[in-house]
Amino acid sequence: MKKGKKLYEGKAKIIYATNDKNLVIQYFKDDATAFNNQKKTTIEGKGVLNNRISEHILSNLSQIGIKNHLVKRLNMREQIIKLVEIIPIEFIVRNVATGSITKRLGIEDGTVLKEPLIEYCLKDDELGDPLISEEHIFAFDWASKTEIDKVKKMILRINDFMIGLFRGVGIKLIDFKLEFGRIKIDGKNEVILADEISPDTCRLWDSITEKKLDKDRFRKDLGDLIPAYTEVAKRLGILHEQSNVSAVNITKLSSVKRKKK
Ligand code: TMP
Ligand code: ASP
């Protein structure tokens, strides 16, 4: 597999072409942004952890039949993924109210929702990813009714599965963001899960202490982010031997691995 030219650079990832027109390389950067890029920094080792955590979750989801773009992890920072046409919608899934919804609707932080709530935001940084309704999606043809029906079914299964996965390791899945993409498989149009699932895109609270183990540590200046992401990776059984792995160690590990190749 040959790495080709950069096709796209987002806030946290870069996509590179490969010599296979159907596959691309997804590179996880250390950049962290919040509030639509108004707050930004670089956190050494974040990309390595997100790459591993996202690989773990997406491969587990494949095993329960949720089709997704992951082909395989290449190294500490990169994965081979299927090239999809991203649907321009961020699908937000909430089990507990926190973050933007509490401010928007005056809901008390930490309110457990009666059932999972799916919200749609238009994926447009210049507009600040505005909240939209299903009617907007159909009126402007951002996705078809069939696609949204399929996506909603997948989202509820993903949510159930991830709640269980995290509950098993003492973490509450509060909310998260998903993206989906269009792809032709055996001549058939399909919608599959894309992007990443990591502490950058989920809110994860320790089940007992409610300590935030996600990007809110950066958004709200709650203190070190790497130990929290490392904790998530360790609990998921991703980091075994390197139990006290630091950001610097992670980065060293990644360069050792690259040199060996
Ligand atoms: P919110 O409360 O800020 O709307 O965020 C809801 C969830 O979606 C939270 O887990 C963070 C995630 N999210 C992203 O991954 N990317 C984004 O651009 C936004 C706004 C939220
Ligand atoms: N990812 C978004 C940004 O960079 C928002 C967020 O995750 O809070 O601004």
Judgement on whether residues 177 and 193 belong to the same structural domain of the protein: yes
Q: Is the CB of 201 inside a 6 Å radius of any atom of ligand 1? A: yes
Q: What is the pLDDT of residue 258?
A: 44
Residue 214 within a domain: no
Mean pLDDT along residues 152-177: 98
Residue 260 within a domain: no
Judgement on whether residues 93 and 182 belong to the same structural domain of the protein: yes
CA–CA–CA angle 206, 210, 216 (5° rounding) = 90
Residue 215 within a domain: no
Q: Is the CB of 180 inside a 6 Å radius of any atom of ligand 1? A: no
Judgement on whether residues 136 and 78 belong to the same structural domain of the protein: no
Range from 127-131, 200-204, 231-235, 253-257 carrying the lowest mean pLDDT: 253-257
Q: Is the CB of 119 inside a 6 Å radius of any atom of ligand 1? A: no
| Contact partners, residue 28, CB within 8 Å, separation at least 6 | 12, 13, 46, 47, 48, 50, 51, 54, 77, 78, 196
Q: Is the CB of 33 inside a 6 Å radius of any atom of ligand 2? A: yes
198-220: pLDDT as tens digits: 999 999 999 999 999 999 999 99
Residue 219 within a domain: no
pTM for this prediction: 0.93
Q: Is the CB of 123 inside a 6 Å radius of any atom of ligand 2? A: no
Ligand sitting nearest the alpha carbon of 131: 1
Judgement on whether residues 187 and 135 belong to the same structural domain of the protein: yes
- Percent of the chain whose pLDDT exceeds 70: 92
Judgement on whether residues 96 and 174 belong to the same structural domain of the protein: yes
| Centre of ligand 1 from the C-alpha of residue 201, in Å | 6
Judgement on whether residues 129 and 61 belong to the same structural domain of the protein: no
- Percent of the chain whose pLDDT exceeds 90: 90
